[in-house]
Chains A and B, each alone.
Chain A
Amino acid sequence: MKKTAFIGALTVAGLMAGAAAAATLDDVKARGKLNCGVNTGLAGFSAPNASGEWEGFDVAMCRAVAGAIFGDGTAVEFVPTTGKTRFTALASGEVDMLSRVTTWTFSRDVDLKFSFAAVTYYDGQGFLAPKSLGVSSAKELDGATVCIQTGTTTELNLADFFRKNNMSYEPVPVETNAEGQQQYLAGACDVYTTDASGLAATRATFENPGDHVVLPEIISKEPLTPLVRHGDDEWGDVVRQTMFALIAAEELGITSANIDALSATPGNNPEINRLLGTEGNLGEMLGLSADWAKNAIKVGGNYGEIFETTIGENTAIGLARGLNALWTDGGLQYAPPFR
C-alpha cells in the first residue's frame, strides 16, 4: 500500500515536472510575446537601427517564430546578450530561444544542456589578407602575425591549423571585431582571422575593399544555430519546424509575393498545401494554428529572401549563398518533408 502511494506520488511529481518543463509554448502564448536572445550588435545578423528596431538575419529568425505563434512578427521582445551572458540568459529562462550566431558544438549540446534547432547559417573560420601581402593560400602564412579574438573557438582553431601544417605564427590578441578591424588596417598584423561571414562584413566596410582578399581556406566548421533549453521538446519542435518551414518554402517556391495566392485555396502540390495549412493538420500537431507556417513565412519571406535582404550579395555585407544554398543548388540547407 505504502509502495503504491510512493509510486503514485513519484508519478504525480514526474508529471508535474514534465508539465512545468513543457510549458514554454504556453508561457509564450500567455505572455503574448516571444523573448528572443540576440547579439548586442553584429553587422548583418542583429543590430538596432536608428529608430531602435532590431534588424538582421538572426533577428529575422526570431520574428519568424513569433509569426508562427502569434501571426505577428513584431510580437518579439529582443533581449541583447553578449558572448558571456547568452547561455545563462537561456538556461535561467530569461529568453525562450537564443538566435545569436551560436556554433552548435558537442559540449554545448550535451554538457550545457541545450537543444539546437536547425542550422540557419553554415559558417567557417577564414583569413583576411591584404593583396599586397601576395599570398593566395592560407598555407603560405608561415611566420605571419595574426590578429585573433581572444577566448573564442577561433583561437583554438587557429592553433590547430598552424600546428597541423607545421607552420609558426605570432598572435596579436584583440578583444572585439571592431578592434580587430582597426589593428588589421593599422598594419599591426599581416592577416585577420575570424568567421568567414564576419570577414566579409569587415572587408565590406573598408575604404578600398578591393585591396584585401579572403583566402580560400576555411579551417573550421561553425554551424550557427538557434537553440532552446533541454527538456521541452514541444517548444524545441516549434522553433525547429519554423526554421524548416522557411527552408522548405524556398525549395517549394513559396515567396512573400505569392504566399497569399498559394494559401488562399489548396493547389496541386500537396506538400505546399500541408505546409500552408490548406490541407492536413500539421499546425494542430505543433500546438499552433493551421496557418502557422504561412504566418512565419509572411514576416520576412522564405529562407532565401531573408538571406538576401539581411546578409546577401546585394547588401553591404555581400555574402554569397555558398554552403547555405539549398541542397538542390549544391548547398547544405535541407528541410525534412512536411507530412
Chain B
Amino acid sequence: MSNTHADTVLFVRDTMLPQQDPPSSTIGAIGWAKENLFSGWINSILTLVSLAFVLFLLAGLLPWLFSPTWSMNSLTECRELLAGDHGACWGVIRERWPQLMFGFYPSEMYWRPVLTIVLLFVAIAPILFAERVPSKLLGFTAIFPFVAVWLLWGGTIWGPLMALLGFVVAYFVFGLADKYLTSALALIAAVVSALIWWGLISPLIEPALSSALPIGLETVDSRQFGGFMLSITIGVTAIMCSLPIGILLALGRQSDLPLVKAICVGFIEFIRGVPLITLLFIASTLLNIFLPPGTNFDIILRVMIMVTLFASAYMAEVIRGGLAALPKGQYEGADSLGLDYWQAQRLIIMPQALKISIPGIVSTFIGVFKDTTLVSIISMFDPLGLANAIRADQSWNGIYWELFIFIGVVFFIFCFSMSRYSMYLERKLQTGH
C-alpha cells in the first residue's frame, strides 16, 4: 500500500484554487499587439515600418479627401479656395449627384426609380431572407418585374399587364394540358399559347385598351436612362434572369438527349468564347444594320438581353461545377425513392448543388454588375460614361479622381454587400459537422 498517493507525498491539496485571469500582458489590446505585432525583433521592425508607411499615406490622403470644397460650382472656384493646396474638388459630386444617380431622367419623376428600388428590396426580401419574411410576399416578387418596367419607362399600364397575362395564360394552359398530356407536351402547349397571346391577341386588344382607358405614367425614353440607375437596371435584370437560365443550361448540358445537349453546349461555349464587348457591339450597331430601317428595338432591352445571355453562360458552368461535386449516391438515392427527373432536381439535387455553388454564383453576379460599366463604350451613360461627359463640361474639365473615387465607392458598397450576403447565406445553409 506504500505506493498510494497519500503515502508518497507529504501534502495533498483537497480544494481547487479559484481560476485566475491570465497575466495582463497577454490579454486585451496589449496582449494582442504583443502577440501579433511585436512577437520578435523582425516583426517589430516590420510593424514600425508599415505603421510609418500607413501614416505617411494618410497624411497625404486625408487632407486631400477632407477638403472644404463641397459647395463650389467649378474647378476654378475650388482652386481659388484651396489657394495652391492640394485638395479634392467635391463640388462636382454635389452638382452632378442627380445625374450620376439617374442620368438624364426627368427630375420631376425621380420618385419613379426611387420607388422602383424600394419595391425591388421588398420583392427580393422573401428570396433573400426566406425565414424572416412571410412567403406571401412571393406573389409580389412575381409581378415586380412588370411593375418595375411600367414605373421606369412609363406608358400605359396595359402593356406590362398584357405581358403579365401571357404568363397567366401559359400557367392555366399548362395546368389544363398536364391532365391529359405528358408534361413535356403540356409545357410546349403552354409556351405556344403564351406566344400566341403575346404575338397575336395582345397586339390587337392592347391599343384599344390604351386608348379607351389611358391609365398610365408619362413615357420616359431609354436614352434618358443613365448613371447608377442604368447600371442597376441592367445588372439586376441580368442577375435575376441569368440564374434560372443558367440552371436550365447546366442541366441541359448533362442531358441524355443529344439535341438538347448540343444546343446547350454550343450556346455556352459560343457565348463564353466571345468577349462581352463584342456582344454589346452586336447589340448596339450590328442589329441596327440587320433590322429593317425604322425598327425601334429598345437599346437598353438589347443590352439587357446580351448581358443576360453572357451571364447565363457563365452561370451554367458555375452550376455545373456544383452538380459535378455532388456524389453519385445522391442521384441514385433520388431515383430509388421513385422521384421523377424534375422532382429529383427540385428536392434533392438542386438544393445541394446550388449550396455548393453559392460563392461562384455570387462572384458571377458581382462580375456582371461591374461589367455593366462596359456599356459606356456603346455610348450609353453609365456612371463611367457620365464621368467622361461631366469632365467635358467647361466648369469641371480637369477633374479626374473625385468622380472615379465616388463611383468606385458606390460600386464597392453594392459589391461588398452582395459578398457579405453570400457569406451569411453560406453560414445559414451550413449543414456539415
Contact = CB atoms under 8 A, between A and B. Distances in A.
Interface of A: 39-52, 55-56, 77, 79-82, 84-85, 88-89, 91-94, 176, 178, 181-182, 201, 204-207, 315-317
9 contacts: A43-B391, A43-B394, A47-B389, A85-B379, A92-B285, A92-B288, A178-B388, A206-B398, A316-B394
Contact of A204 (B224, B376, B392, B397): B397
A315 B394 contact: yes
B410 interface: no
B389 A48 contact: yes
B272 interface: no
Given A77-B223, A91-B289, A93-B293, A50 B95 contact: yes
In terms of DSSP, what is the predominant structure of the interface of chain A? loop
A198 to B, nearest CB: 11
Contact of B379 (A82, A206, A317): A82
A52 B99 contact: yes
Interface of B: 75-76, 79, 95-96, 99, 103-104, 107, 223-224, 281, 284-286, 288-289, 293-294, 376-379, 381, 385, 388-395, 397-398, 400
A317 B394 contact: yes
Nearest to B82: A207
B285 A89 contact: yes
A48 B226 CA distance: 12
A3 to B, nearest CB: 32
A89 B288 contact: yes
A39 B394 CA distance: 15
Given A81-B379, A89-B288, A94-B288, A50 B99 contact: yes
A201 B392 CA distance: 10
A46 B392 contact: yes
B406 to A, nearest CB: 15
B378 to A, nearest CB: 6
B390 A41 contact: yes
Contacts of B79: 207
B285 to A, nearest CB: 4
A147 to B, nearest CB: 15
Nearest to A178: B391
Given A92-B289, A182-B400, A47 B393 contact: yes
A134 to B, nearest CB: 25
B385 A40 contact: yes
B288 A88 contact: yes
Given A82-B377, A82-B379, A85-B285, A41 B400 contact: no
Contacts of A44: 392, 394
A41 B388 contact: yes
A207 B86 CA distance: 11
A317 to B, nearest CB: 7
B377 A84 contact: yes
Nearest to A182: B400
A43 B397 contact: yes
A74 to B, nearest CB: 14
3 closest residue pairs by CB, A with B: A205-B398, A41-B392, A41-B389
A243 to B, nearest CB: 23
A181 B392 CA distance: 13
Contacts of B392: 39, 41-47, 56
A199 to B, nearest CB: 13
Given A43-B394, A45-B392, A88-B288, 13 more contacts: A41-B390, A48-B104, A50-B99, A56-B392, A79-B379, A85-B379, A88-B286, A93-B294, A178-B391, A181-B398, A205-B75, A205-B398, A317-B394
